[in-house]
Chains A and B, each alone.
Chain A
């Protein structure tokens, strides 16, 4: 079961960009291009686990739509071109969970989406990669139904890659996200852990090495 996200952005190029990346990462998306359609979608095509909302919409103000979203218990991340503190405060005060300032990088978008889903408890509990299942609440990984034992860091690494399917991470990024930025060791550790994951879960064809970049879990 995938998380369902409503994307409300009037610029077609940006809307396509977001939808494409979210879909590839493993989410289900619906795109609308103005405020009125957004309201219709919430009523007719729900339930949504989250909404990405452009503040500068034609017609209905992005801030006005907040009320609708809140009423349906849909957490909102604002998309805004305005980086000034005033706008950010206004957005957060209006009830947004987070905001992203354009232009943004894809990874940033994905991570923020993930965090909001986590915070609001909407994140799907189970991640699937082929015949591997990860139950987040229980910290349990199974392959073909049988539990597989993973070291804590291996688990974290797997979860990170699984939550961001098809997105390439550099070794540094993986190091930062999983080990924390204080780690002084070598990036070689990553390679070792990746190797372990591949072996233990038979994911050699799934966790791909991307030359000059890093690793990517593909589906």
Chain B
């Protein structure tokens, strides 16, 4: 808008200047013309009077002669003075007062423009002398109002045109501004709606120019915001569910402990029942202990400072795990077979140990007497396989959820709390990998820790993109 105003001002000044110059030029041209005219007329008169003036006649004759000569060579615009006295006046004007006449010179035609009654009168005069008879003043009196009127008309024209152009320009400015602002308004409106919570709003991209590009980018940003909000809501939802599950998992053993101890204090029950009550209290307290232990691990794994990566030979990892699980496996009269075909892997040894122990414990719970549990490390994965009861296909996606147990009552009987696979999943993530679970009912289950970043773990680690 400022630019346009500047242009308008410049145009105005330009137009005004041009007009002014033109006017001046006109006037000076006119005056020049008349100057020329007066000068030549004065010259002619001078000649005439010198050559043809009647000699020795009276004043009247002189006057007539002068008037005749004036008429012949001058015209109705002229006055002639002889020695300061009016000798002939062909104009319609009267001399207002002698003293008011400017001093005419012989050298050139001087002039003055007199304003009278709204007219511009050009009064131009030149002196000449003729054969010692006196000083003559030839005065031209001409109404040049027309020129001024013309100028005035032109000024009005200019102003009119100028006003018209300005009005047009202002209109255009408004129109263009409105057009420009409309997408901006739309952007603003949409942004407001989005910030108030309607994350699906977008703007329409109508043009291919800068505004269009802004709109496109705006939409991309809104996409991102919407996705982010969705993710956050999902996370929040999952966290709420986790908390709900946790609360439930805590309340259940507490109910038993409080209930049984309350019973022991107040109710008459048989010795047998008392013993059972105490056993329940004991078992549930241990369950709480395991729960809090696993919760601590889960929490600990979010604290990245506690994780410590090193290049560790997988064979040694398997050896350690075998040592840990040896008695547990023997207790259940099962077999544990370890096979390692790989070298070293960057890992947090304690966490990996935890993961394998968890998987093996699960395998033990699923298997029966005499069964074998295989642990196999090859390519970029470590697999724990059992030949036990398997997992129903529809449950497989759910089993890594915190506290989820396929067979709740049986799991609880053998001490499960449902956190094992959730922990393993987290450990896998921390090692830049994931868990793969395959299972068939009554045939067996295999769960693999897959290291996504590595093609194979044979010591020559070619990292995958």
Chain A interfacial positions (CB closer than 8 Å to B)? 10-14, 16-18, 20-21, 24, 33, 56, 58, 81, 102-107, 166-168, 213, 216, 218
Contacts and interface: CB of A to CB of B under 8 A. Distances in A.
Contacts of B85: none
A216 B266 CA distance: 8
B217 interface: no
B268 A216 contact: yes
B248 A56 contact: yes
The 5 A-B pairs of least Cβ separation, nearest first, read A103-B255, A13-B256, A102-B255, A168-B266, A81-B251
B288 interface: no
Nearest to B413: A12
Given A81-B247, A103-B255, A13 B284 contact: yes
Contacts of A106: 259, 262-263, 266-267
21 contacts: A11-B255, A11-B412, A13-B260, A13-B280, A13-B283, A16-B280, A17-B255, A17-B256, A17-B277, A20-B263, A20-B277, A24-B273, A81-B251, A81-B255, A103-B258, A104-B255, A105-B262, A106-B267, A107-B266, A168-B265, A213-B266
A205 B262 CA distance: 24
A14 B256 contact: yes
Contacts of A56: 248
A117 B344 CA distance: 69
Contact of A104 (B253, B259, B267, B276): B259
B269 A24 contact: yes
A103 B263 contact: no
B347 to A, nearest CB: 37
Contacts of A16: 276, 280
Nearest to B254: A103
B308 interface: no
A58 B408 contact: yes
Interface string B239-275: 0000000011001111111111011011111000100
A153 B340 CA distance: 80
Contacts of A218: 268
A81 B254 CA distance: 11
A205 B259 CA distance: 27
Nearest to B266: A168
A213 to B, nearest CB: 7
Contacts, number: 87
A128 B262 CA distance: 26
Given A12-B409, A21-B267, A167-B266, A102 B252 contact: yes
B276 A213 contact: no
B243 to A, nearest CB: 12
A105 B259 CA distance: 6
Contacts of A11: 252, 255-256, 409, 412
A159 B260 CA distance: 25
Contact of A213 (B258, B260, B265): B265
Contacts of B260: 13, 17
Nearest to A12: B409
A20 B283 contact: no
A90 B92 CA distance: 116
A218 B266 CA distance: 12
Given A10-B409, A102-B252, 12 more contacts: A11-B409, A14-B255, A17-B255, A17-B256, A20-B277, A24-B267, A81-B247, A81-B248, A103-B255, A103-B258, A106-B262, A106-B267
A17 B409 contact: no
B240 to A, nearest CB: 12
Contacts of B262: 105-107
A167 B255 contact: no
A132 to B, nearest CB: 18
Contacts of A10: 408-409
Contacts of A107: 262, 266
Interface string B395-429: 00000000000001100110000000000000000
A204 to B, nearest CB: 16
A14 to B, nearest CB: 5
A183 B259 CA distance: 30
Contacts of B269: 20, 24, 166
A214 to B, nearest CB: 9
A81 B247 CA distance: 8
A58 B248 CA distance: 13
A110 B247 CA distance: 25
A14 B267 contact: no
Contacts of B247: 81
A58 B398 CA distance: 14
Nearest to A17: B259
Q: Which of A13, A166, A213 has the most CB of B within 10 A?
A: A13
B117 to A, nearest CB: 100
A43 to B, nearest CB: 23
B286 to A, nearest CB: 12
A70 B283 CA distance: 36
A21 B263 contact: yes
Contacts of A14: 252, 255-256, 259
Contacts of A216: 266, 268
Nearest to B407: A58
